[in-house]
Structure 1
């Protein structure tokens, strides 16, 4: 089950407690001739991802609509009809932005069901990568909103990414995570909900994607692997909206590293291959070296000696072409020393 951060965000906006929602739902049910006896524990289960039965989702919409004095739909509360249209990477970005902002807010408030959520496995873990690599693309990411986004706003996000990355390197992910998540909630979310044209919007989504990726790294460092994975998936979606395949490949490298940590070696190989294949000429020598070195480690764990050695050779060749001044900010972590360590671990896995 995935945590229902949208419902949690609306409850917070409406100022309704878990017990308060249960009471109001029971009351609304009586008006429809239903006998309901929900308590705060039921609401806690809904927030963890359990879907309420029968007419209860509609009753929740009714209760929150009355409280907020506006229409509230099933999609708004994260309880859209199963089998109905799903807002995937090819659909409008507004739904994604709302879901992303809800996750940031829940993380900022240290909601246990978000912070302790298990990592996705199997098909749900693969789908975001498949959707990044394949059509449809975002033809137009422009948006109308109350606040006009400017190039200066985007420059602030770019500077913030660099600031929080340096903070992470000096103080670690545990100390940095609360600060970067607070920035995402207070500064990044309003900009994504603002007004911008297609060109500026792509720059905005790229800058936001870089920030969200660092938030994922911080969550990973804090051993919140399910949360880190969700941040990486968000960053990948933002990368697709930006049109920057290189940024997407960088985010996939983070997922490859996480897959190796989890022992999902075949998944690590597949993800790295997707990044190398899809990014094409947009991939930099540093990122190519990192991805192929991690592939070598995965193949070594799988017992495929010949392919592991071939990946090691490609990683060494790519590492020789690294020119720090020509690499984007995100791949600055890839230094020859890191590649050498990755290769050494692969060789160790092969018994060499």
Structure 2
């Protein structure tokens, strides 16, 4: 299935033209030229949903109709109907901005074609990462627009990202995502369309990209995987425009983490290796540590014990150099004990349960210093290890504490972790297990 034409949909919304209205306008123009058409609202819906391109010069007519309404000339690429595929695959920066704006405008308006979108797989899933790593790079990102952009505007975006991230950690991505999407539409779009020099523009793309990446995280946490992937691809394009390799590496790490959740282990290894190579010398120790642990977990899933341990050793060596005051804001999730938790996860997958328990317990000893979301994951890891080792009483006690920490969070990823623990405990015929399953069902909708 082809990607929907979000550019045309966004322009129609900006112009205030309905599907039926566009069809009627096109029919009027073609009738005067003695080549009448009989388009209706279903045809326009097909142009958007299926990315169908009408025959003849109708795309040019659409450019004139919408361009007259929005007050600027539009090209075929602007309306998502280029004559060649090249215009779709490698848009210039201005077109990339238009596509990003179109995405979050459609998300704000709950467009059906975004709800039903499929994940991008195959070469198309790797292309954005390849394009981030390789030339050409923008030599100048300055822009002329209707309003000037200042560094104060950029700081507002940075502050908003930090504020929304704290909300996400406390209550989960489900309630936070609509807030970020609304902020992108109301506050980020005018700045990206504004006027700025090259220096301010690069800082703008860095700050805007941070918010777009967080929107992708919240979509991922809401189990809107295809939507999340598209946000992350746009964040990566903004990272390239910013020239900030460290931020680009962070976004690639997010893509690797999403691939891990989808059991796409080849992508995990490829993404992580690309981030480590493409931003070599620019990545913070915390991010390098996380990238190596992601690779270790992927290797454990495919049974590559030697590579798993090699990446864990690299992660441990790099973690010793982490200085949290020197880290960028996005890597704040790499808190004390995270490496031990990730190591426990990898070792559990390899069947090394004694060592896994040791690291899971070590991770939990520092859990009070991290946010509730991190505490929940660490408790889930220990509960899974204890269950597999047959220590039922401790496993259930740990699982109950996990539910305490997760109370009030609206997060599909947290619910997924609770379900994993419930599935591991379900085979045990014990009253304490039954009581836990009842509570997990009430709190996280886990099947009884």
Could you say which TM-score interval applies, normalised by the shorter chain?
over 0.9
Deviations 1:312-342 (A, max 9, x none): 1111222222221111100000123222222
Instruction: Summarize deviations over 1:105-151 as a string: whole Å, max 9, x none.
Output: 11111112123311110111111100111111111111112211111
Shift of 1:3: 2.0
The aligned residue for residue 392 of structure 2 is: none
TM-fit CA distance, 1:232: 0.6
Moved more, 175-184 or 34-43: 34-43
Report what 1:162 is aligned to.
Answer: 162
C-alpha deviation, 1:69, in angstroms: 5.8
What's 1:80 paired with?
Answer: 82
TM superposition shift of 1:70: 4.8
Corresponding residue number in structure 2 for 1:9: 10
The equivalent of 1:293 in structure 2 is: 293
d(CA) in 2 for partners of 1:340, 1:170:
22
- Tell me how large the CA RMSD over aligned residues is: 1.8
Post-superposition CA distance 1:252-286 (Å, at most 9, x none): 11000011111111111010000011111211111
Asked if structure 1 preserves the Cα contact closer than 8 Å seen for 2:4 and 2:113, the reply is: yes
Write the mapping of 1:180-195 to structure 2, written as runs, cut at 5 A.
180-195=180-195
**Inter-partner Cα distance in structure 2 for 1:44 and 1:292:** 45
Residue 325 of structure 2 corresponds to 325
- The aligned counterpart of 2:145 is 145
**1:177 matched to which residue of 2?**
177
Q: 1:19, 1:269 → 2: CA distance?
A: 47
Q: Deviations over 1:10-59 (max 9, x none)?
A: 21122221122223333333334445333322222221242223123233
Q: CA 1:86–1:116 in 2, change beyond 3 Å: closer, same or farther?
A: closer
Q: Is the Cα contact below 8 Å between 1:65 and 1:72 reproduced in 2?
A: yes
Q: Which residue of 2 aligns with 1:214?
A: 214
What SS does the corresponding residue of 1:303 show, helix, strand or coil?
coil
Structure 1, gaps ≥5 residues long: none
Runs of 4+ off more than 6 Å: none
Deviation, 1:301, is 1.8
1:216-242 CA distance string (max 9 Å, x none) = 101111111111111111111111111
Match of 1:53 in 2: 54
TM-score normalised by structure 2 residue count: 0.74
Residues 216 and 228, structure 1, Cα contact 8 Å, conserved in 2: yes
Q: Pick 1 or 2: higher relative contact order, CA cutoff 8 A, min separation 6.
A: 1
Give yes or no for the alignment of 1:276 onto 2:251: no
Check the 8 A contact 1:28/1:63 in 2, yes or no. no
Is 1:122 the counterpart of 2:122 in the alignment?
A: yes
- C-alpha change, 1:350 and 1:155, in structure 2 (3 Å) is same
Aligned residues: 350
Aligned mates of 2:116, 2:328 — CA distance in 1: 32
Alpha carbons of 1:200 and 1:50: their partners in 2 closer, same or farther (altered >3 Å)? closer
CA distance in 2, matches of 1:86, 1:222: 28
Query: For residues 63 and 142 of structure 1, what CA distance do their matches in structure 2 show?
Result: 29
- 1:33-52 equivalences under 5 Å are 33-34=34-35, 36-52=37-53
Give, in whole Å, the separation in 1 of the partners of 2:72 and 2:162: 39
Q: For the residues of structure 1 that align with 2:341 and 2:4, how far apart are their CA atoms? A: 37
Bigger mean CA deviation after superposition, 333-342 or 229-238: 333-342
Cα distance change on mapping 1:281 and 1:11 into 2, 3 Å: same
Counterparts in 2 of 1:69 and 1:297: CA distance versus 1, 3 Å: closer
SS at match of 1:204: helix
Structure 1 residues 134 and 169, CA, compared in 2 at 3 Å: closer, same or farther?
same
8 Å CA contact 1:319, 1:336 repeated in 2: no
- Aligned-pair CA distance for 1:68: 4.6
CA distance in 2, matches of 1:111, 1:215: 16
2:393 maps to: none
- Structure 2: runs of 5 or more not aligned: 353-448
The 2-side partners of 1:243 and 1:69 are apart by: 32
CA distance in 2: counterparts of 1:212 and 1:297, whole angstroms? 26
TM score, norm. by length of structure 1: 0.94
